[in-house]
Chains A and B, each alone.
Chain A
Amino acid sequence: MNQTEGSMAEVGTPSPAEGHDHSPVAGRPAAVSVAGVTKTFGSGASAVTALDDVSFEVPQGSFVSLLGPSGCGKSTMMRLIAGLQEPTGGTITVAGGTPDEQRRARDFGIVFQQPILFDWRTVEENVALPLQIMGKPKAERQERARELLDLVGLKDFRNHRPWQLSGGMQQRVAIARALTFAPPFLLMDEPFGALDMMTRERMQTELLSIWSRNPGTTVIFITHSISEAVLLSDRIVVMSARPGRVMKVIDVDLPRPRTDETRDTKEFVDIEAEIRQLIFSQEHR
């Protein structure tokens, strides 16, 4: 089975008017509020502080990145928001409730760095997994799964097995699966980290396209790539190395839709430089 990339043309480029809220991000209500959050692992002498007094807000329907070097606690932060772990101190509010409440209400679609697809299921069955767990009837599951596979451009691969697909394709399946039950939040932990540079850049523009077709979804995105964060996000929370602290919160005002050409614009390069300076100055303190 040759692992050809699914046709990118099927995904298409979004039209500017396509259901996307283009109001300034800062003016919207906060979907997620992180206030003074601290997270320590272990106790006593061997305690490790992953996060130290972290605060930021994620506006409704926006794309927010947590950017920082490895080990700065950003993955931990995502898990705290998702209700998978509890903070040691501070509070997190998600859509008016606690992260755990929203987790149980299945508010979060999560994509990890590894696709985590089940080998014993076909691509379509993998995408349908959350719906099956929620007890939806088979016909409904299938239809919805195919809809999403179409969205990510893998309609023709629905009866394939995960290992027959390339890394990029597998991640697209994982994204489709995360969106199956239309969660209000999409949480992504360095989803393109395991891919090569070229596939990665392709996936970035594709993610924007997919997101534009799911308007209203709030995306929280973890990365250590400055250019990736600038291209994708409305807001970037720049974090320092362990213990993780917020260095600065930057609102990225670049117009949407953003494409590959956006990477070459002056505004893009300026923002990139600003962030790089910020991180650089931190390291040389």
Chain B
Amino acid sequence: MSESRRDTLITAATVIAILAVWYLGAALVQAGDDPLAEAKLPFPHQVIDVIFSNTGELGEASWISLRQALIGFVIGSLVGIVFSLVMAQGEWVESAIVPFLLAGQMVPMIALVPIVQNIFQNDDVTRVFISAFITFFSVTVAVVRGLKSAPPSAYELMSSYNTGRLQRLRYLEIPAAVPMLFTGLRIAAPLSLVGSVLVDLAGAQSGLGYIMLAALTAGGPTGSMLIWGAMVILIVLGFLLAQAVVLSERIVAPWQVQMRAKGA
């Protein structure tokens, strides 16, 4: 038991150390004359205070950003899965598209936001589209890799059972792809929230990003502190989304979790 107790102690010590550094830094920054100093690096308790003083506004904005992100996440995942299955049907199809999938991941999503906004002229639709777009890439790349992750001997085995392509997909490739699918989903979940917030940053009139933006421009010290509140919520939500994916993997494919725990 002493190993896990030692771990807990070390984690506690780390948290305390971080808080200490934070307090020290905030004290240093706020010691000067800068009127915005409080907003630049507030004390932890000030951040908590900001969050609880503005629950209504922050809550509403969070819900807007989150809701669209979730819709986009679901759409992007479904489209990505279907797309991967289609691509797996033909080697030529796959060879043709995979380079563009990889190249597509190189495009900074934020650059597309104004363009997409220009097309749809609607903040909500843009958020869903961007979130779906980000999720689509992550999921498709993951599933395509997962579908091909079975060892060659497994294919020989299936060949000895005289399986057709569909049977191979059903009995071998799709189950083999499930772990990678969840990896892709776990990465995409917080990113789709980020995408939704990016839309706000790029000029939407609501959402967490809008609060950050408004706090930045309008501001003053108390207003600017709202940035921290929004940021903390964003980070926490992102973390919770990733955990939600991990949890769903535990439900859908419990053996994967057990395997990893065993180090298999």
Contact = CB atoms under 8 A, between A and B. Distances in A.
- Indicate whether A and B interact: yes
Given A129-B171, A133-B171, A112 B157 contact: yes
B217 interface: no
Given A106-B161, A106-B162, A130-B161, 20 more contacts: A103-B159, A103-B162, A110-B156, A110-B157, A112-B153, A112-B157, A114-B153, A118-B172, A118-B175, A119-B255, A119-B264, A120-B175, A129-B161, A129-B171, A133-B161, A133-B167, A161-B255, A161-B258, A161-B259, A163-B259
Contact of A120 (B161, B162, B163, B178): B178
A132 B172 CA distance: 13
Interface of B: 151, 153-154, 156-157, 159-163, 167, 171-172, 175, 178, 253, 255-256, 258-259, 262, 264
Contacts of B255: 119-120, 161
A120 B150 CA distance: 13
A116 B157 CA distance: 8
A84 interface: yes
B166 to A, nearest CB: 11
Nearest to A108: B160
Nearest to B264: A163
A84 B172 CA distance: 18
A116 B151 CA distance: 8
Interface in A89-121: 103-106, 108-110, 112, 114, 116, 118-120
Nearest to A177: B157
Nearest to B155: A84
A108 B157 CA distance: 10
A82 B258 contact: no
A71 B253 CA distance: 39
Contacts of A134: 161
A110 B160 contact: yes
Interface in A157-178: 161, 163
B160 A82 contact: yes
17 contacts: A79-B156, A84-B160, A104-B162, A106-B162, A110-B157, A112-B156, A112-B157, A116-B151, A118-B172, A119-B259, A120-B255, A130-B161, A132-B171, A133-B161, A133-B163, A134-B161, A161-B258
Interface string A132-143: 111000000000
A130 B161 CA distance: 6
B154 A116 contact: yes
A103 B156 CA distance: 11
Contacts of A118: 172, 175
B170 to A, nearest CB: 9
Contacts of B256: 119
A285 B156 CA distance: 37
A129 to B, nearest CB: 7
Nearest to A133: B161
Nearest to A187: B160
A142 B14 CA distance: 53
A191 to B, nearest CB: 12
B160 A114 contact: no
A133 B168 CA distance: 9
B154, B159, B162, B264: residue with the most chain A Cβ atoms closer than 10 Å? B162
Nearest to A105: B162
Nearest to B164: A133
The winner among B151, B153, B256 for most chain A CB atoms within 10 A is: B153
A51 B20 CA distance: 71
A109 B253 CA distance: 29
Nearest to A118: B175
Nearest to A107: B160
Which of A82, A106, A118 neighbours the largest number of chain B CB atoms within 10 Å of its CB? A118
B168 to A, nearest CB: 10
Contacts of B259: 119, 161, 163
Contact of B151 (A106, A108, A114, A163): A114
Contacts of A109: 160
Contacts of A84: 156, 159-160
Contacts of B167: 133
B178 to A, nearest CB: 7
B165 to A, nearest CB: 13
A100 to B, nearest CB: 10
Nearest to A163: B264
Contacts of A163: 259, 262, 264
Q: Which of A112, A114, A134 has the most CB of B within 10 A?
A: A112
Nearest to B174: A120
Contacts of A129: 161, 171
